[in-house]
Amino acid sequence: MERSNRPTNITSALEALSPWLNNPRRTVIKIEGFVAAAVGLLFLQLILGSFRRRTSNSFIHGGLWLAYTLLPLLITYTLGLMQSSPIKIGLYPVWGLSLFMLAGGANSITAYDIDDNKKWLRRFFVLLQCYLYMFLLLSLFIPTRGWFGKPEVHFQPYRQPNYILFVGLTTTAVGITLFANRTGLIASFMVNYSGDSKRVADYMKDQAITRGDSQEFDPVSMKGCKYPVYWRGPVRTRRGGSYRFKLADEDVATVEMIWEKCNEDMFTSPGVSSRIKGACLSFALSHLLRRRFFGMDCSEASLPETRQFVLEGLLSENNSDQYTEAFRVIEVELGFLYDCFYTKYASIFQLENFFFITTALKIIFTFSIVLALLYKSPTILTRNPIIEVDTETIDIVITVVILGIFLSVEILQSILYLGTEWAMVSLACYHVTESACHGYIPFALRKACEFLFKLPLFSNWQNSIGQYSVIEGSNVSAFLLNLTAFVHRLVKLFLGKGSHFVRLPDIVKDEIVSSLKSNSEGHLTNGKVSLQRNGVLEQFSWALQNETQTDNMLIWHIATDYCSIAACEEEDVFVWHIATDSAQEGQKQLSSHQYREVATTLSRYCAYLMSKIPELLPGNFVDTKFAFDQAMYEAREALGTKRRNREGLLSAIDRSREEEEEDTIFTKGLKLGTMLESIEDSFLRWKLMAEFWAETILYIAPSDNVKAHMERLAQGGEFLTHIWALLTHAGILTRPVEPARGEDIA
């Protein structure tokens, strides 16, 4: 009798010592809420993660960071609370399984920033911790007196619904553990693994050495293009057990092979073949660009075929969409790189069969658990001294909803993967290799991919660029300038007139490509060629001979803003009559308006880069940011509370002349603006500035700070990164040394 009353006495003691236990149901509700919150964070992470690369909205990125940070903490805390709390309910193992699935990475996001990938061992430890908690929770279904005691009751597994549920939970937990360790962890490990990039670098070096003048290369049909798309991993040599780390021709599926074998006859839907070819080309280019992340050489940069590939292939004028398709290839390429650094799509691509098998098993077992719960709620079989809370109908409903959301996330992620360019590349590699070396894709999956390929394209970036104006951004009161840096950023974000985003006009891309093609040799200059071509180099050469390129851009930016403000005031008093003028004059005015749009857009984009992302620009980013802040201060001092119009800007110049002060960057910019305004023909004036800024954006694009570019991919992307990638594939990796101050550049 004493032994039978022992659990009751312990329960009474616990209730007497801890009033917190007077309402055990409250603890169950709290844990249930934590589980629901974790599933909600997973769903939020899935939704926000899909928009991450397509927007720079701070609320979306902030919400994603919050979900990414809180989810693992909430999972481990809830699992620990369920295991340590003396209050138990039969649904704990089911809730624990849901949390364990979340910890294994039901979502595709593996890192919020690049440095998170270095913490893959910490993520592995979290998984082990969750596995331990899961094992302890599953022990509730074992009818034992202790860890190794004999059963207190006669146990017949085939008559115990709980035992069937226990087996299902255990099997599912094992599958999820394998999936988590082989996809999420491998994805983080692959970011820091340079072996594949080393193989690509060595392969391209061998191709550069063996390529002869007699080898035919057609940049339009991609004949002779040996860029690797897919290759087999380390291959054992025939003579021994060593590995061959260098890629051989028989190991590689190249762009030439895919463009030759992937024809429209392979697919029932028109246009699928061309999309797959474009995706494979982007995938191959992403391999070449990723080498620079590890500081490896681009051996093909010096070859004439490399520049020919871009100028006559990607930027071919035979394309009906002109240069849109070329930037589309670069956009998809950067999308592949984003997935390599921030999602597990790259590891899914390598383990495709395993991914679909484990996903199917998770769905089947989760659905079976839902049916088991609807049939009969589980009960705790252990006889440990605990307080058991009865399972209510609302608990079953909430649990089914939680598992249903998890099923939805798993199914949605599989569908999203099948609709990505990764699936296109996988399908193409399967057809080219005609073997299972990459992974067998069943006929049903190929049909599913083909159906998803017909849907509207998912954008890989926001297709907008930041804009900032030194003149407009300087219109901030002195009181606001004395606030802390954080408050100042908020003020500029919500109240400031300087920073905003605009849709990237296609005319801007056309002007940049025209500037690149006009200099086929690839020797970049900081505006000298455009000024020389327009016959004004001698007149404006002084504006290119400053200490740094940042000073040059600031002076020309202020001048461009001045001309834009003056042009707006002229338009207020002068109405164009294009309809009544001659057709030639009307076309000239239209072209002038387009050149003005190009000049002002690129000018304000460069100011945005100097203000927000100076690490992407030439020189030390601290010096760049300091020079920009100094120009902002000079603008505020010169203009004060004056209106930001032509009259106010001219008065600032007059004041500087009266005080006989040394010209600052701001006053130099205003003086340059008045000189440009003196060009009576507005068409020539804006044509000059548009060509100058197109040449300048090409000049500042080359960079070795690959990490900064990759980090911007997770924040909406930057147009400068697209230009940087395009120049890299054209073999333009560096820029010439800037001319010293006072040096003759003519």
pLDDT tens, residue by residue, 338-348: 999 998 888 88
Per-residue b or e along 716-725, where b marks 16 or more CB atoms closer than 10 Å to that residue's CB: bbbbbbbbbb
pLDDT, position 584: 63
- How many CB atoms neighbour CB 109 within 10 A? 23
Split at pLDDT 50, 70, 90, the class of 274 is confident
Selection from 135-139, 454-458, 667-671 with the highest mean pLDDT: 667-671
User: Which amino acid would we find at residue 494?
Assistant: F
User: Which amino acid would we find at residue 498?
Assistant: G
- What CATH class has 2-194+377-390? mainly alpha
Split at pLDDT 50, 70, 90, the class of 352 is confident
Split at pLDDT 50, 70, 90, the class of 478 is very low
pLDDT at 442 over 70: no
Two structure tokens written together for 182: 């082989």
Query: pLDDT: is 162 or 20 the higher one?
Result: 162
What's the pTM? Answer: 0.86
Rounded average pLDDT over 584-602: 82
pLDDT, position 390: 78
- At 314, phi and psi to the nearest 5? -60, -40
Of 738, 739, 730, 678, which is closest to residue 301 (Cα–Cα)? 730
pLDDT at 63 over 50: yes
Per-residue b or e along 165-197, where b marks 16 or more CB atoms closer than 10 Å to that residue's CB: bbebbbebbebbbebbbbbbbbbbebbeebebb
Split at pLDDT 50, 70, 90, the class of 330 is very high
Q: What is the pLDDT of residues 10-59, one digit of tens each?
A: 555 555 545 545 677 888 888 889 998 998 888 888 888 888 888 888 88
Split at pLDDT 50, 70, 90, the class of 138 is confident
pLDDT at 595 over 90: yes
Query: pLDDT: is 212 or 407 the higher one?
Result: 407
Mean confidence (pLDDT) of the chain: 78
| Percent over 70 (pLDDT), the chain | 73
Of 370, 307, 311, which is closest to residue 94 (Cα–Cα)? 370
pLDDT, position 613: 93
pLDDT, position 560: 95
Two structure tokens written together for 404: 């249903």
Rounded average pLDDT over 394-408: 86
pLDDT, position 447: 63
**Domain extents for the chain?**
2-194+377-390, 464-729
CA–CA separation, 88 vs 76, rounded Å?
A: 17
Q: Out of 72-86, 297-311, 492-506, 631-645, which region has the weakest mean confidence (pLDDT)?
A: 492-506
